[in-house]
Structure 1
């Protein structure tokens, strides 16, 4: 019978370079301690790279750029898939996804229906923030991101230029999706969006 180390090595060798790996991927081969010891050994041998606690990477080497690292987005999506939880971008990251902010935050924040968790990778990281189930009732690909982004800031801080871009985005959302998502939004954000769509910016400045 193959050793636990060899069985895990064989499975890893069959994976595509760049794959993000978790100890739970090898449940049934051995105890959790034995699996972690095998992954630790493979890391020391250079066959795996430890991204964070309990998260490993099968390195992918580019002929020109060398070792390629996964994006924080890829790590977040892999963790969500491994833990069978839903996630959605929130805060500054949601605004960046919509093009409303040019700054990519070092730490990506997601709302989740799973457990709270923070993952530090290099100078960046990922934070999963548990929320009520109704947050995942939002349907609009644009309106849901916008609402999540605005929740992390005061609407009084939104510039006229940003308001114009928000209006353009909202007009790209279907009325059904927008109406659905506004019903689930905090009152202050619902009020902000309704006023923004109903009254021209010049009128509100008067």
Structure 2
């Protein structure tokens, strides 16, 4: 029975994309929590999978150039942490700008507003921080609306120019713009005015 569960888990892992992350919860259809946990710990020792942080794993990938294990993208890891605990999160600060192509600076700290508790995770030289909030932006808006508002707030009113408007506009469909404007009527007025400018003739 144990071998059968191991085979099923390994088969599912082998069929996932290289950047997929997984936890014990992703394999509970094959066995009990304790059984699956033991199997993942063993597969990690065998280097079939790689432990990213406590409880989260990925398929082991080795770079052909450096012959070292390829690191996981910190934003991908943050999304998996949030998914594992059923949190909703919003990227903030320079990380939000980076995701929208408004900054080329690679952050060393990835910060998020979250519906969960305050938590900090260390991943290599990177810090991932979750800060609890009950704001309208996280509880009532979709992910795209929340990210846009976070990025606009980070830039500040005086730094919104035609280039910024153009870059954001090119990433949105008409339907996305309609939803963003519909959802965002309760937010800070100057940010809503920026959103309207972005969504004109999108």
Q: Name stretches of at least 5 consecutive residues in structure 1 with no aligned partner.
A: 199-206
1:58/1:169 Cα in 2 relative to 1: closer, same or farther (>3 Å)? closer
CA contact (8 A) 1:138 1:144 kept: yes
Structure 1 residue 7 displacement after superposition: 4.7
Q: Tell me the secondary structure at the aligned position of residue 121 of structure 2.
A: strand
User: Which residue pairs with 1:74 in the alignment?
Assistant: 76
The 1:8/1:81 distance shift into structure 2, 3 A limit, reads: farther
Q: Which residue of 1 aligns with 2:122?
A: 120
Tell me which residue corresponds to 2:45.
44
Deviation at 1:196, TM superposition (A): 10
Matching residue of 1:165: 163
| Cα displacement (A) at 1:52 | 0.6
For residue 30 of structure 1, the aligned residue among 32, 52, 58 is 32
Runs (5+) with no aligned partner, structure 2: 198-202
What's the C-alpha RMSD, in Å, of the aligned pairs? Answer: 3.6
1:138 partnered with 2:136: no
CA distance change for structure 1 residues 35 and 195 in 2, over 3 Å: closer, same or farther? closer
Bigger-Rg structure (1/2) = 1
Q: 1:11: which partner in 2?
A: 8
CA distance in 2: counterparts of 1:131 and 1:92, whole angstroms? 19
CA–CA distance in structure 2, aligned partners of residues 38 and 170 of structure 1 = 45
Distance in 2 between residues matched to 1:195 and 1:103, nearest whole Å? 23
Q: TM-score, normalised by structure 1?
A: 0.67
Instruction: Tell whether 2:60 aligns with 1:59.
Output: yes
Write the distance in 1 (CA, Å) between the matches of 2:143 and 2:163.
17
State the aligned residue count.
186
Give the TM-score normalised by the residue count of structure 2.
Answer: 0.68
